[in-house]
Structure 1
Amino acid sequence: MDLYEWAIGGIYLSPLFLYAVVALLLTGVIRLAMHTLHASRWIWHEALFGCAVFLLLLAAITWVAAT
């Protein structure tokens, strides 16, 4: 699959923007699950962990979409 812009309502959106939105939603779900299970107490710096999870998810989504 090639990475082409998507026209939604006459506005061109980059696929990376849409992948980032999906990765952000998944990051929120993961962080919420970690807080509910009290697993967040083992994380040294939650902001760095959230950023790392977001980047890993974004890379995985981009890789899956490109194959």
Structure 2
Amino acid sequence: MMLLKELSLAGVYLSPLLLYAAIAAGLWWLLRAGLAAAGAYRLIWHPPLFNTALYLMVLAGVAALLHR
């Protein structure tokens, strides 16, 4: 797999973390919708804290998979 070093957007160089964050946001949204449909949020004490932790775990997973 090719190692992504930086993104060039109209001459402005951006960190690959921006791409990873966008991918993670899409996956996180799908996970959150699935958990809400399953009724899992009734069992969660602090949903905003859970959502933040879930997003960070998804972001770490995406970064680990794509940044080998």
Task: Tell me, yes or no, whether TM beats 0.5.
Answer: yes
Tell me the equivalent position of 1:64: 65
Unaligned runs of 5+ in 1: none
Runs of 4+ off more than 2 Å: 8-13
| Aligned match of 2:5 | 4
Match of 2:40 in 1: 39
Q: Which residue of 2 aligns with 1:29?
A: 30
Aligned partner of residue 4 in structure 1, secondary structure: coil
1:19 is aligned to 2:20: yes
Letter in 2 for 1:14: S
Shift of 1:11: 3.5
TM (norm. structure 2) is 0.83
Quote the offset at 1:29 in angstroms. 0.9
Question: Cα deviations across residues 11-45 of structure 1 (Å, max 9, x unaligned)?
Answer: 42211011011111111111111111111111111
Structure 2 unmatched runs, 5+: none
**Cα separation, 2, equivalents of 1:9 and 1:32:** 34
Work out the number of aligned pairs and report it: 67
